[in-house]
Amino acid sequence: MQSGLFRFVLIGPDNVIKKWIVDFKVTPPIIGETNAGNVDVEMTMKDSDFMKIVTGKLRPDQ
């Protein structure tokens, strides 16, 4: 797997926004809720779509 710093911007009910960072530059990867810093990749989506992707019910390219 490639290393990098990923930010997931998840939009929940009532448009509440949560930002999660996954740092694949370290082993094991670190996951945290934060707004800080530059990232290599940022993905923004509804939290319901994110859950469909991680459970295999939705392909990310759809």
pLDDT of residue 37: 84
50, 8 Cβ separation under 8 angstroms: yes
Spell out the per-residue pLDDT of the chain, length 62, in tens.
568 999 999 999 999 999 999 999 999 999 999 877 899 999 999 999 999 999 999 998 87
Residue 48 to residue 62: CA distance in whole angstroms:
14
Q: Where are the domains of the chain?
A: 5-54
Residue 31 to residue 29: CA distance in whole angstroms:
7
- State residue 36 phi and psi, 5-degree precision: -80, 155
Residue 62 to residue 46: CA distance in whole angstroms:
14
